[in-house]
Structure 1
Amino acid sequence: MNSESPERGNAPAEFVLVSGLLVALALATIHVTLVVHVRHTLHASAWEGARLASYYNATSEDGAELTRRLIIQGLGPGYAQSVDAGQITVAGQPVSLVSVVAPLPTVGLWSVGGEIRVEATAPLERPD
Structure 2
Amino acid sequence: MCGPRVLHDERGSSPVEFVLVGTLLTVLTLAVLQLALAVYVRNVVHDAAVEGAYHAALADTSLEEGAERSRSVITRAVGAAYAGDVIVGTSEELGHETVDVRIRTSLPVLGLIGVPYALEVEAHAPVESLGEE
Scaled by the length of structure 2, the TM-score of the pair is 0.84
User: The residue matched to 1:105 in structure 2 has which SS?
Assistant: strand
User: The residue matched to 2:108 in structure 1 has which SS?
Assistant: coil
Q: Does 1:97 align with 2:124?
A: no
Matches of 2:113 and 2:72, distance apart in 1: 27
Q: 1:108 to 1:120 in 2, by over 3 A?
A: closer
Matches of 2:10 and 2:112, distance apart in 1: 39
Q: Does 1:76 align with 2:79?
A: yes
Structure 2 unaligned segments of length 5 or more: list them: 1-5
* Greater Rg over alpha carbons, structure: 2
User: The residue matched to 1:11 in structure 2 has which SS?
Assistant: helix
Matches of 2:20 and 2:112, distance apart in 1: 23
Match of 1:33 in 2: 36
In percent, how many aligned pairs have the same letter? 38
How far the C-alpha of 1:92 sits from its partner, in A, is 2.3
Matches of 2:113 and 2:55, distance apart in 1: 36
CA RMSD of aligned residues (A): 2.1
Matches of 2:71 and 2:112, distance apart in 1: 26
Matches of 1:108 and 1:48, distance apart in 2: 26
**1:59 partner letter:** S
How far the C-alpha of 1:93 sits from its partner, in A, is 1.8
Scaled by the length of structure 1, the TM-score of the pair is 0.87
Match of 2:3 in 1: none
**1:17 partner letter:** L
Structure 1 unaligned segments of length 5 or more: list them: none
How far the C-alpha of 1:109 sits from its partner, in A, is 8.6
Q: Does 1:65 align with 2:68?
A: yes
Match of 1:13 in 2: 16
